Amino acid sequence: MSTLAQEVHPSALVDPSAELAAGVRVGPNAVIGAGVRLGEGTEIGAGAQVVGPDTIVGRENRIFPYSCIGFDPQDLKFEGEDSKLVIGDRNLFREFSTVNRGTGFGGGVTEIGSDNLFMAYSHVAHDCHVGDRCVFTNCATLAGHVTVHDDATIGAFSAVHQFTRVGRHAYIGGYTVLTMDALPYVKTVGQKPACYGLNSIGLRRKGVAPDARRRLGEAMRFLLSSGLNTSQALEKIRAELSGHEEIDYLVEFIEGSERGFVKAPPGKRGERGGGGE
């Protein structure tokens, strides 16, 4: 059992029902609300607020000054029903970032994985699900019910529409307005978004093997620049590239799209794709 001491500044307000594990540090004027659970080694900065009920924060997170974590959802349908926010380990929530709990309509839970970076003024709304190792740049905003898969990057001042999905290793450029799904492994950019091809630099930085990058490049050629429609492109991808984890995930992501996905080249912004084409 850890013997690390807690450090709670005298000016901090910590509800008696909150659970603080060993090694938790709470800075000046911070607020920890009723029903909050903070995992071992988590640090709450000056003036930050972590409220509940049922806000669960894992180990070794850093919540920087004036962040607001676990507040009620910004949804007029919310009527005070039970809802949760569950956060994994080693996340960084920079200054003035905000994360809301879920709603009964949306399943009741907002979930954030581990090792993510939320830069200043970023926002995660109710019922969102964020994976691991994602980066939210300054003022990146998720509306409700958004799903962001592992290793994605959401650029500065970007806005992601309700019920939209962002795939693994996707790169969403700054100031993008995303109203359809963003394909995994590629760069999606613009107020009328276009697809700028494989996120080659990001994939190399994250250690994706050269053979996997080559297969993904071939798949994107079929999907984006071959002149085939989506159904035809998927047939080619299955016939020539299937049986590899990253390709199988790409096909599954496309077939699961309900809003359609961005596939237009830069010269034809706004074109959408979908599994039924």
Active site (annotated) includes residue 126: yes
Residue 4, pLDDT score: 79
207: left (phi over 0), alpha (psi -120 to 50) or beta: left
User: What is the C-alpha to C-alpha distance for residues 69 and 263, in angstroms, rounded to an integer?
Assistant: 35
* Closest residue by Cα to residue 247 from 273, 222, 274: 222
* Closest residue by Cα to residue 158 from 129, 196, 119: 119
Opening angle at CA 179, ends 147 and 134, nearest 5 = 35
| CA distances (Å), origin 276, targets 163, 222, 233 | 19, 16, 11
Beta-carbon contacts of residue 252 (< 8 Å; ≥ 6 apart): none
Catalytic pick from 27, 39, 144, 173?
144
Contact between 9 and 30 under an 8 Å Cβ cutoff? The reply is yes
Residue 197, pLDDT score: 94
Catalytic pick from 23, 52, 70, 126?
126
- pLDDT per 10-residue tile (average), the chain, 277 residues: 81 98 98 98 98 96 98 96 97 98 96 98 98 98 98 98 98 98 98 95 94 96 94 96 95 97 81 53
Beta-carbon contacts of residue 30 (< 8 Å; ≥ 6 apart): 9, 12, 13, 44, 45, 46, 47, 48, 49, 50
Residues in the chain: 277
* Closest residue by Cα to residue 129 from 159, 96, 106, 153: 106
Active site (annotated) includes residue 54: no
Q: Which domains does the chain have, with CATH numbers?
A: 7-145 (2.160.10.10), 203-273 (1.20.1180.10)
Catalytic pick from 127, 150, 151, 181?
127
Residue 34, pLDDT score: 97
Residue 267, pLDDT score: 75
Residue 276, pLDDT score: 36
User: What is the C-alpha to C-alpha distance for residues 81 and 224, in angstroms, rounded to an integer?
Assistant: 44
Place of tokens 């603080």: 20
Active site (annotated) includes residue 144: yes
